[in-house]
Amino acid sequence: MEEISTGITQVVSFRLGEEEFGVHIAQVQEIIRLQAVTALPRVPHYIEGVINLRGKIVPVLDLRKKFSMEEGHRTKEGRIIVATLEGETIGFVVDAASDVLRINMDAIEAPPPILQSVGGDYIEGVVNIEDRLLLILNLPKVLNRDEARKN
């Protein structure tokens, strides 16, 4: 794995409101423009529905809703990040996809322990990049199947 041998990881950064997040590039399949999402009945509030991505049905969730953030207005900068999680393809609606960043693994700090009790287990690490904080998400924990079944 490149990360281990070089001490560098690559992260796709994106915005939700004023906050900047990132996911490991190895988990990202592609980034697409917002498109019509077909709603589904009786799903958790943060699941927008499904899209048809070149013949494959892909569930799409809204990270703002998942993280209990204030709903924002969708703009032309909005994107769906299509990721592969545990062998499944899923899309995440974000306000804007930013950059692919190369981050020194030593620069990634663990999230403060107090966050664990308030949903911080979604956060894998925190990086200070040029006076801005980037929260690196733990994607498998963002969509926990057991949690989705309870809703």
In percent, how much of the chain has pLDDT > 70? 87
Provide the pLDDT for residue 61: 93
Q: What CATH homologous superfamily does 2-142 map to?
A: CheA-289, Domain 4 (2.40.50.180)
| pTM, 2 dp | 0.85
Q: Over 121-138, what HEC string results?
A: HHEEEEEEECCEEEEEEC
* Tokens representing residue 78 in the block: 């909005």
Confidence of residue 1 (pLDDT cuts 50, 70, 90): very low
Q: What are the residue boundaries of the structural domains of the chain, listed by start?
A: 2-142
* Tokens representing residue 22 in the block: 């990132």
Is the predicted pLDDT of residue 133 greater than 50, yes or no?
A: yes
Give the integer Cα–Cα distance in Å for 12 and 102: 9
Give the integer Cα–Cα distance in Å for 16 and 27: 19
